[in-house]
Amino acid sequence: MTEPERYVVTHTIAAAPGAVFAVLSDPARHKDTEPGDWVRDAIDPQPITGTGQIFAINMFLPQAGGHYVMHNLVSEFDKNRTIAWIPGQLDEAGKHNPGGWWWRYDLAPNGENTDVTLTYDWTGTPQSFRDQVGMPPFDKEFLAESLAALDRSVK
């Protein structure tokens, strides 16, 4: 068994867990949590309410062919504590086909603040996709910048 391929970064945000979680559970706000222009608008801006839900986001990445849609399957949902999703694509039957990577946010109260730990894991990404896009497609600093963007969006 190989070691997990992942980045884990923690950042303290001067807001209560509920305020942070409100941004993370709103697909329309996800573009506000990314430091660049990769994440675009939500196709269906309905809030995330539980595991098993799929939310779709318009994306842009040159090495992935430009514009595309990412369908994210919510894999963990514990209101104001944890939210995670597995990006992938839907086949013609509407079945979610995971890409092999996942995102997870863990929120922990810290006085009047919230410690947010962001995990990005690409352990299950197929070699063919790794060859096409390069995995991970960013460095660990991208996660720190993403958490800083989340911090700005909560205020």
Q: Where are the domains of the chain?
A: 6-154
Mean pLDDT for the stretch of residues 121-134? 89
The CATH fold of domain 6-154: Alpha-D-Glucose-1,6-Bisphosphate; Chain A, domain 4 (3.30.530)
- Provide CB contacts within 8 A for 26, sequence distance 6+: 45, 47, 48
Across the chain, mean pLDDT equals 93
Q: Containing H/E element for 145?
A: helix 140-154
Mean pLDDT for the stretch of residues 124-150? 91
Mean pLDDT for the stretch of residues 116-120? 98
Determine the pLDDT at residue 4.
79
Whether residue 135 has pLDDT greater than 90: no
Whether residue 86 has pLDDT greater than 80: yes
Whether residue 1 has pLDDT greater than 60: no
The pairing of beta strand 6-13 with beta strand 113-121 = antiparallel
Of the two residues 106 and 45, the one the predictor is more confident about is 106
What would the DSSP string read from start to end of 55-123?
Answer: EEEEEEEGGGTEEEEEEEEEEEEETTTEEEEEEEEE-TT--EEE-S-EEEEEEEEETTEEEEEEEEE-T
Of the two residues 3 and 13, the one the predictor is more confident about is 13
Mean pLDDT for the stretch of residues 100-127? 96
pTM equals 0.94
Nearest to 116 by CA among 85, 78, 81, 75: 81
Handedness of CA 20, 114, 7, 52 (dihedral sign): negative
Mean pLDDT for the stretch of residues 58-67? 84
> Residue 2 — very low, low, confident or very high, per pLDDT cuts 50/70/90?
low
The pairing of beta strand 54-61 with beta strand 66-78 = antiparallel
Determine the pLDDT at residue 134.
81
Determine the pLDDT at residue 131.
86
Give the span between the Cα atoms of 70 and 44, in whole angstroms: 12
